[in-house]
Amino acid sequence: MIDRTDPEGAVAAAAKRCSNWGRWGADDVRGTMNFLTDDKRLAAAALIRRGVSFSLAQSFDMDGPQKGWRRRTNPVHTMLDTGTDAAAGIQGFPHGIGGADDVIAMPLQCSTQWDGLGHIFDHGYAWNGRKAAETVTSLGDGFTGIETVAGVIAGRGVLLDVGRAIGTDGELPDGFAITADHLADTIARQGPSAQVGRGDIVLIRTGQLARTRRDGWGDYAGGPAPGLSFTTADWLHTTEIAAIATDTWGFEVRPNEFDDAFQPLHQVAIPHIGLFLGEMWDPDALAADCAADGVYDFWLTAAPLPITGAVGSPINPIAVK
């Protein structure tokens, strides 16, 4: 049960129960990604049965959901050289060759992305007990920058389509808190291929993105949403998953379950469990295929860009069945 009046006490208790500090040594920078071993990755390769692939990324363009909260904007894509420049003969290249070039400016977490381990702190401490002020400075994350996991986020993916399993018409309403019991129910309904275990990358589909496609962005970026209940902190810890992602902006249920709190599950999951969180993924095409063939696990590669010192990264996750 949640005492809505005591978020600080709930966070402190969950952090103590679920802490992985020191589990992989005092110098660890990979957190739960340590569960995704070479053996796990090798076994996951056998999940490619048909060769069909799905991009799990939303678009990166100016028509995205961002409204400027904490200076987050949609990507700005600008052409540096174009075909019209080439046709005008102003590019300065010899023997008729021309080209196009472009640049993009965007917050690293404006669309489909990973939260890195330097993204969230608890009372001034980052992952593995490091002081936040010494971990992430104006120069970036000097310890757990996203580049530290750029080569390892590939393995067994598991879709838990909670929206389709227990929702209405494949969708959960905004503010719906997904509990461990809901996750267990979804797994039972989906069958053996949906079992979750050590080293897995779990994808939760709530159906909010599908609703957003139908109705417009609205408050998708930062507003009410279905998501993980704070009470799932223990499930996230005991399952020993490597990472988890959702089709929502904030991963956990919004509004949050306490009277005065902001993303309390983040406050436990990232700095204490050392868990990588993915947000704004697009699982809908994959989910339709999984529902059709009854197979909910697959090979998944979701490498971040190796941006030195970044606390998050845009990604284009690819699921292959």
Q: What pLDDT is recorded for position 1?
A: 79
Range from 86-90, 178-182, 293-297 carrying the lowest mean pLDDT:
86-90
Structure confidence at residue 28 as a pLDDT band (50, 70, 90)? very high
What is the average per-residue pLDDT within 203-210?
A: 98
**Total-model pTM:** 0.97
Yes or no: say if 148 and 191 are a contact pair by the CB < 8 Å rule: no
Q: Assign 207 a pLDDT band (cuts: 50, 70, 90).
A: very high
Above pLDDT 70, what percent of the chain?
100
- Contact predicate 216/175, CB 8 Å: no
What's the confidence (pLDDT) of residue 152?
Answer: 98
Helices in 136-179 by DSSP H: which ranges? 162-166
Average pLDDT of the chain is 97
> Quick check: 247 and 205 in contact, CB under 8 A?
yes
**Residue 247 and residue 228: Cα distance in Å, rounded?**
11
pLDDT band at 162 (very low <50, low <70, confident <90, very high): very high
Could you tell me the domains of the chain? 7-70+107-320 (3.50.30.50), 76-104 (no CATH)
